Amino acid sequence: MSALPSAPASNAAATPHLATKLPGVGTTIFSVMSALAAETGAVNLGQGFPDFDCDPRLVQAVADAMRAGANQYPPMAGVPALREAVSAKIEALHGHRYSAATEITVTAGATQAILTAILAVVRPGDEVIVLEPCYDSYVPNVELAGGTVVRVPLTPGSFRPDFARIAAATTPRTRALIANTPHNPSATVWTRDEMLQLQALLAPTDVLLISDEVYEHMVFEGEHHSAARFPGLAARAFVVSSFGKTFHVTGWKVGTVAAPARLMEEFRKVHQFNVFTVNTPMQVGLAEYLQDPSPYRELPAFYRAKRDLFRAGLAATRLRLLPSEGSYFQCVDITAVSDLSEADFCQWLTRTHGVAAIPLSAFYGDGTDQRVVRFCFAKKDETLHAALERLARL
């Protein structure tokens, strides 16, 4: 018997050369700042997650589901009761009926929903418009699909969409546009008029919309205008939601996407082979919990109180407040406090004053620096008070 041919001894244990598919991607600023906050004992208002627990009734509903044996694969698109509950919620809030059978899919958080939508529709050579500053997964997602990222800035200072620039960036190769309202990081919320302008702009095109609405239940001024409300947008949109954000369970990674059947058909082809399905007991528990609308109906008041507490404290510092219309973020202008760049300021603030924040430059491909940093106020009141006490010394 001859032995199997073996690689030359010198190469035997060497990992083959691999050119990275994502040369621009390193450790995210969120991980860097969280690690620095932990190392220095700073109050972490950087990364966007609550430091308080979820409703015990939700935990109970999930525990009940596990004990009742809901522990095997659910249907690929998600537990039917959860899809029904989400469909009913969207109809009640936005007046658009998505079929639970063919138009709603449960995902492993909004992150997987966005990646899956992009992989399903973007081909090499297609252009995808992202509005900067933007959430950090969008650009690498488009690059993984072989698409070309077209960056359009939101209006500097106000962070409102600039429709003339979006129109100018739209070409026959534009496959999709990614919008996000309420917006991370700027905390702006698109108005009805802005949604109508987007609808009019896209009407003569074949551009699809990926509408990232993970902060949909955290709106403090006016209301949330989902793409689902606008027939011309709903017909071309993947509307993305996150239970992690809505119910203070970011670690559970469960979200949903709603889209017309034709788009959802393609979405599910990819979903089926990148995650297949999402854990069953969370879905069963969430379906049960959603029967009572009060938790998400009470969310704006809950976060408005935190926003107001935090803003009142910041108003007494030399940081200049920007509006916070929605999401759980508050941006501030640092000009009166420091000459440092946003990134250096955040390092300095963490090390010297013990409060971690995120530089807005991290949300731009070219590192645009407007002297603005972002705080997350999804924190216990005592955490916010501790941070404010430190910020008052600036």
Ligand X SMILES: Cc1ncc(COP(=O)(O)O)c(C=O)c1O
Binding site for ligand X (CB under 6 A): 48, 109-111, 135, 180, 184, 212, 214, 242, 244, 250, 253, 255
Residue closer to ligand X by CB (options 180, 199) is 180
Residue closer to ligand X by CB (options 144, 394) is 144
Residue 316, number of CB atoms within 10 A of its CB: 10
Q: Which residues of 321-340 are buried (b: 16+ CB within 10 A; e: fewer)?
A: ebbbbbbbbbbbbbeebbeb
Q: Do residues 109 and 242 make contact, with C-beta atoms less than 8 angstroms apart?
A: yes
Residue closer to ligand X by CB (options 190, 337) is 190
Beta carbon of residue 10, minimum distance to ligand X (angstroms, whole number)? 44
Beta carbon of residue 274, minimum distance to ligand X (angstroms, whole number)? 14
Alpha helix ranges (H) inside the chain: 29-40, 56-67, 80-94, 109-121, 138-144, 163-169, 192-202, 231-234, 243-246, 261-274, 280-289, 294-297, 299-314, 342-348, 381-391
Beta carbon of residue 96, minimum distance to ligand X (angstroms, whole number)? 21
Beta carbon of residue 283, minimum distance to ligand X (angstroms, whole number)? 14
Give the separation between CA 372 and CA 347, rounded to whole angstroms: 14
Give the separation between CA 83 and CA 175, rounded to whole angstroms: 27
Beta carbon of residue 371, minimum distance to ligand X (angstroms, whole number)? 22
Beta carbon of residue 121, minimum distance to ligand X (angstroms, whole number)? 18
Beta carbon of residue 190, minimum distance to ligand X (angstroms, whole number)? 13
Q: What beta strand segments (E) does 161-261 contain?
A: 174-180, 208-212, 237-242, 255-258
Residue closer to ligand X by CB (options 58, 337) is 58
Residue closer to ligand X by CB (options 247, 345) is 247
Beta carbon of residue 57, minimum distance to ligand X (angstroms, whole number)? 21
Q: Do residues 120 and 266 make contact, with C-beta atoms less than 8 angstroms apart?
A: yes
For 116, 221, 351, the CA distances from 303, given in Å and listed in that order, are 30, 12, 28
DSSP codes joined into one string, 78-141: --HHHHHHHHHHHHHHHS----TTTSEEEESHHHHHHHHHHHHH--TT-EEEEEES--TTHHHH
> In the beta sheet, which residues pair with residue 332?
321, 373
Residue closer to ligand X by CB (options 178, 384) is 178
Q: Is the peptide bond before 182 cis (omega within 30 degrees of 0)?
A: yes
**Cβ-proximal residue to ligand X, closest one:** 109
Give the separation between CA 230 and CA 218, rounded to whole angstroms: 20
> In the beta sheet, which residues pair with residue 372?
333
Beta carbon of residue 372, minimum distance to ligand X (angstroms, whole number)? 17
Residue closer to ligand X by CB (options 271, 388) is 271
Residue closer to ligand X by CB (options 183, 371) is 183
Beta carbon of residue 147, minimum distance to ligand X (angstroms, whole number)? 18
Residue closer to ligand X by CB (options 100, 130) is 130
Q: What does the CA dihedral 37, 40, 42, 46 come to, rounded to 10 degrees?
A: -20
Give the separation between CA 58 and CA 282, rounded to whole angstroms: 9
Residue closer to ligand X by CB (options 246, 383) is 246
Give the separation between CA 35 and CA 33, rounded to whole angstroms: 5
